[in-house]
Structure 1
């Protein structure tokens, strides 16, 4: 899972947003089954991608989902850099 996250982050930094979204969505499928923290972090990463693409509605939706998971499971990690 860490590899998907790192590669998605690199694609994001290179402005290859579609590639980054594909990897983060794949990571969501995997992390939904196993790790709530990773799932919330991935939703957050997808939110950043949507922000960069100017899709603020989807960005907010993903940030809100990540925040809800964080608050309900008491996961502590930062949501924004």
Structure 2
């Protein structure tokens, strides 16, 4: 996701991988975010609102349960 809140499809070059972690070595600036949940419903240029950000302290399931509505999508 670009810094202006618009979705942008990118090709990334990844490096090392570990469970829950992927190293991005090319195609992503340091201040950009990656959408990892619900991305199949998005289109390039669409504006999104971030409702949660993964800081690594909780599992994805816990993070989604903490959202209003328990993470259910309409």
Q: Normalized against structure 1, the TM-score is what?
A: 0.27
Of structures 1 and 2, the larger Rg is shown by: 2
Between 1 and 2, higher relative CO (CA 8 Å, sep ≥ 6) is seen in 2
Higher-helix-fraction structure: 1
Higher-strand-fraction structure: 2
Q: Normalized against structure 2, the TM-score is what?
A: 0.28
